[in-house]
A = this chain, B = another copy of it.
Amino acid sequence: MPFPRIDTPAVLVDLDVVDANIAAFQNFCDDAGMKLRPHIKTHKLPFLARQQISAGAVGVTCQKVSEAEAMIAGDDNDSDNSALGDILITYNILGDAKLARLARLAAKAKVSVVADNVAVVDGLARAFGDAAAPMRVLVECDTGADRCGVRDPDAAAVLAERVAAAPGLHFAGLMTYPPPGRVADVQEWLSEARRRCEARGLSVEVVSSGGSPDMWNLGEMNAVSEYRAGTYVYYDRSLHARGVCDWSDCALTVLTTVVSAPTETRAVIDAGSKVLTSDLLEMRGHGHVLARPDLEIDGLSEEHGRVTGAPTRLRVGDRLRIVPNHACVVANMLDRVELVRGDEAVDVAEVVARGQVW
């Protein structure tokens, strides 16, 4: 039985695989002349953020103020307090409470944020108008993902000018979360936005793009100076489906036990939506069972997963390891992850940045 001292369900992180993933993509970025700024929303663990920085990343990306706080706090306990000193929060930050926390963060580290609208810019200007150092702001650009972002390159330049003119703010560049698979269109969009900013006399220091699906296409990203990727540290079933990784690159797995085997073709495991989550990411089924590609996880309730096969050949008490559809959300479900190297359990890590309210 694998990992006899780990009870199930458990989220396992294989540090040997993590080490290789961090090194491989950092080397790839270095060879491509691309700065890497890993997104810590995937692991939410300060020690992995430090490892990414040590490998050569220029800083980290966070999606919430609380993630940045957790990284800094986690870092304070370490010997090298400056390791996580450069944090980009890729989120429109609104409201007095979050802005006050952002100001406290900015006193401890080099912090940048994004904005895609005037209300956010004005809020940041109110919060940092009297600050000792200006807050660095990147303009978020919608290059086709239809989420946040200004809608066209001219709007990017207009908002950039507003940032540059605002008290307490420094226009630092452009940021996008691009639609996967449309690299050339995204470059054209960003190049045009840069030209329009420069035509207004604004210097574009950083052009930040991201996303693990296109991470191996950096060579085509001539308009981008800095790349954000999160999932590459663990990979997952969705990235395997896109051809981004092999199963052996998948560092995060869910260890689960068969708790019922009612028929030849159906078994039930102790991993449900409260650990695997219901994220499908346009796939069928709820995870890949390692060493058993013939099995399908075809249904989840909160604490049960239903496994089908023809036949399953599973017995009550058997253990399975599952590569989840989406590692970033699974890493967010439990208070801790089990750190392993190969077949050996080596440590436990508290997922410090999870469960945070804001």
Q: Taking beta carbons and an 8 Å cutoff, which residues of A are in contact with B?
A: 7-10, 41, 63-64, 91-92, 94-95, 97-98, 116-117, 119-120, 142, 146-151, 257, 259-263, 266, 268, 270, 273-274, 277-280, 299, 301-304, 306, 315-317, 328-329, 332-336, 354-358
A334 partner residues in chain B, CB cutoff 8 A = 355-357
A94 adjacent to B151 (CB under 8 Å): no
Identify 15 new A-B residue pairs, CB closer than 8 A, beyond the known A147-B304, A278-B279, A278-B280: A7-B358, A8-B95, A8-B358, A9-B358, A63-B302, A116-B260, A116-B262, A119-B315, A147-B306, A148-B260, A148-B262, A302-B328, A333-B355, A335-B357, A355-B355
A189 to chain B, nearest CB (A): 14
A281 to chain B, nearest CB (A): 9
Q: Enumerate 11 A-B pairs (CB-CB under 8 Å) in ascending A order.
A: A8-B95, A9-B357, A63-B302, A94-B317, A119-B317, A142-B262, A148-B262, A148-B304, A277-B277, A334-B357, A335-B357
A209 to chain B, nearest CB (A): 16
Closest to A11 in B: B357
A329 partner residues in chain B, CB cutoff 8 A = 273-274, 278, 302
Q: Within the complex, which residue of B148, B257, B357 is in contact with A336, where a contact is CB–CB below 8 Å? A: B357
C-alpha spacing A257/B123, complex, angstroms: 14
A147-B302 CB under 8 A given contacts A116-B260, A273-B279: no
A177 to chain B, nearest CB (A): 8
A302-B41 CB under 8 A given contacts A116-B260, A142-B262, A357-B7: yes
B306 adjacent to A335 (CB under 8 Å): no
C-alpha spacing A256/B339, complex, angstroms: 34
C-alpha spacing A92/B299, complex, angstroms: 18
A358 partner residues in chain B, CB cutoff 8 A = 7-10
A331 to chain B, nearest CB (A): 11
B316 adjacent to A335 (CB under 8 Å): no
C-alpha spacing A303/B39, complex, angstroms: 13
A16 to chain B, nearest CB (A): 22
A97-B259 CB under 8 A given contacts A63-B303, A304-B147: no
A355-B354 CB under 8 A given contacts A268-B148, A317-B119: yes
C-alpha spacing A120/B303, complex, angstroms: 17
A117 to chain B, nearest CB (A): 5
Closest to A148 in B: B260
B120 adjacent to A316 (CB under 8 Å): yes
A7-B260 CB under 8 A given contacts A273-B329, A356-B335: no
A357 partner residues in chain B, CB cutoff 8 A = 7, 9-10, 334-336
Q: Within the complex, which residue of B91, B303, B355 is in contact with A64, where a contact is CB–CB below 8 Å? A: B303
Closest to A267 in B: B148
A127 to chain B, nearest CB (A): 14
A306 adjacent to B120 (CB under 8 Å): no
A178 to chain B, nearest CB (A): 13
C-alpha spacing A259/B89, complex, angstroms: 14
Q: For the complex of A and B, list the 3 residue pairs with the smallest distance between their C-beta atoms, beginning with the closest.
A: A335-B355, A119-B316, A278-B278
Closest to A65 in B: B7
B259 adjacent to A148 (CB under 8 Å): yes
A182 to chain B, nearest CB (A): 17
A150 partner residues in chain B, CB cutoff 8 A = 262
